[in-house]
């Protein structure tokens, strides 16, 4: 068996022998199980393949990964954000973002600006240099993804984007429900 392809048969046996999944009575466990090895493979490509680090190196950006995530959050919204908004988008706690913002501010990649709706509050805004860095990073990653999908028919690319977005949204909502439940420990 190719090392890059996880053993879907073994995973299927785990569900059917009761060691994983739910009752499997409607076959949906098998459908999901067929996707899990590919999700693991994709996760490995994105994390162990050091995609973020390689893209930052290619784009000549010298910040750490969490700081890059802050720049990207600002870039993707194309407007200044409060620390809490950045934290919510990144699904982390505010103090973590504050540390990253302080470092990005020290490097001249972001600035704090007055919130027009609340003069006591501050928003975080990318400087022209920070916006340019985020733009270089995005062009690098988008270029790699575009190259990977170059041989796909347009309809397949559209379906992939639609279904991946739907899956990410539904899984995020489903898992967020766990955060609302009291812990059993």
Contact call for residues 14 and 20 (beta carbons, < 8 A): yes
Question: Model confidence over 64-73: pLDDT tens digits?
Answer: 999 999 999 9
Segment 83-138, tens digit of pLDDT: 999 999 998 888 899 999 999 999 999 999 999 988 888 999 999 999 999 999 99
Q: What pLDDT sits at residue 1?
A: 40
Residue 122 CB: number of other CB atoms within 10 A? 16
The rounded distance, in Å, linking the Cα atoms of 179 and 177 is 5
Residue with tokens 């899956």: 167
Q: Are 117 and 111 in contact (CB under 8 A)?
A: no
Q: How confident is the model at residue 26 (pLDDT cuts 50, 70, 90)?
A: low
**How high is the pLDDT of residue 134?**
96
Short-list 103, 110, 114, 112, CA closest to 129: 110
pTM of the model: 0.74
The pLDDT mean for the chain works out to 85
Q: Which of 77-81, 108-112, 150-154 has the lowest mean pLDDT?
A: 77-81
């Amino acid at each position: 068996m190719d090392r890059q392809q996880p053993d879907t048969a073994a995973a299927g046996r785990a569900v059917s022998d009761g060691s994983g999944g739910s009752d499997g009575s409607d076959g949906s466990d098998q459908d999901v199980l067929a996707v899990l090895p590919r999700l693991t493979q994709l996760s490995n490509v994105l994390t162990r393949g050091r995609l973020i680090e390689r893209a930052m190196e290619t784009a000549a950006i010298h910040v750490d990964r969490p700081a890059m995530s802050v720049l990207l959050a600002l870039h993707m919204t194309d407007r200044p954000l409060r620390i809490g908004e950045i934290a919510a988008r990144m699904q982390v706690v505010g103090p973590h973002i504050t540390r990253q913002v302080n470092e990005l501010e020290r490097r001249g990649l972001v600035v704090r600006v007055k919130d027009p709706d609340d003069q006591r509050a501050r928003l975080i805004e990318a400087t022209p240099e920070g916006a340019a860095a985020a733009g270089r990073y995005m062009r690098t990653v988008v270029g790699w993804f575009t190259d990977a999908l170059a041989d796909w028919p347009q309809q397949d690319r559209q379906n992939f984007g639609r279904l991946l977005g739907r899956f990410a949204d539904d899984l995020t909502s489903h898992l967020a429900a766990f955060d609302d439940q009291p812990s059993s420990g």
